Amino acid sequence: MQAIRVRGVGGPAALELADLPRPVPGVGEVLVRVTVAGVNFIDIYHRTGRYPLPLPFIPGQEGAGSVAGVGPGVSGLRAGDRVAWAGVPGGYAQYVVVPLDRLVSLPDGVTDQQAAAVLLQGMTAHYLVHDTCPIAAGDSVLIHAGAGGTGLLLTQMAKRLGARVITTVSNDVKEAASRAAGADAVIRYTVSDFVAEVRRLTQDTGVRVVYDSVGQSTFDGSLRCLASRGMLVLFGASSDPVQPVDPMVLARHGSLYLTRPSLWHYVADRDALRRRAAAVLGRVADGSLRVHVHRVRPLAEAAAAHRDLEGRITIGKVLLLPPS
């Protein structure tokens, strides 16, 4: 099978197209023919070694496809069933082996491309607004990277819960996308101080929560955007990791809360995964959650897909198509 292989960590050039043996499912595992693979920042962290994986490895944590075979002890699935997964490595390939308890079945109203574009980021947005810092009607929230894949989904979910949503973006095209997702106010951080703008927009009160996937370059400003006893939810580091923090900083800014959650703790067991996936995919199926795909590239162009994501030129999701 064709797959993208990383033999040594580094830049996008570390993503090599290779011919590799088709994997064989073991006990409790399913062989999936990959029709679409999602590209996420965690793939970049793996490629660069920020989140180390044993070498060599096939990147990719998310995708959709159809069942091609099952290992011993697997029941309830048959060849051709449409499935999706998140949090299992090896998606940048024609075939991947996925544990049965990490697979979700796709409803008829959701395409493979929609599933691969929404599962990881959609479940992330879902736990952030429903569990990490549950949103209530009337809350003001700040979402960084408002035109990214997660940012667009977060905006829609927060608005559905009745929040006033403020986002940050870098240019007018991304501003338009963020407003189309429902943002009440959009700050162009390339031309305005986002802290001053948030303070102006909230009459100097600040927001209840900041959802920050950017990290180092926004962290200090995010703290200054919070209302007293507000929460900074740091769930990514697309700029760079945040440096060590003196907890007294939280007291000085108003007895703030700081958390660094991970999706995998919110979908730790099979039931939790399927409940959260069903909530996200159900909204895609009924049209109440819109999925924006920036670009679909052939698997061989994985390096270009990573450059697009790292260059922050994307709006929404980037997908890879393995050969059929």
Interval 124-144: pLDDT, tens: 999 999 999 999 999 999 999
Give me the phi and psi of 202, to 5 degrees please: -105, 15
Asked if residue 172 and residue 81 are part of one domain, the reply reads: no
Asked if residue 26 and residue 62 are part of one domain, the reply reads: yes
CB atoms closer than 10 angstroms to residue 264 = 10
CB atoms closer than 10 angstroms to residue 293 = 19
Say if 98 falls within a structural domain.
Answer: yes
Give pTM, 2 decimals.
0.94
Residue 235 has pLDDT above 90, yes or no: yes
Strand partners, 233: 211, 259
Q: What pLDDT does 4 receive? A: 98
The CATH number of whichever domain residue 175 belongs to comes to 3.40.50.720
pLDDT digits (tens, 9 = 90+) for 31-41: 999 999 999 99
Higher pLDDT pick, 15 / 237: 15
Q: Domain span at residue 34? A: 2-119+269-321
d(CA 71, CA 73): 6
CB atoms closer than 10 angstroms to residue 18 = 14
Average pLDDT, the chain: 96
Number of domains in the chain: 2
The CATH number of whichever domain residue 278 belongs to comes to 3.90.180.10
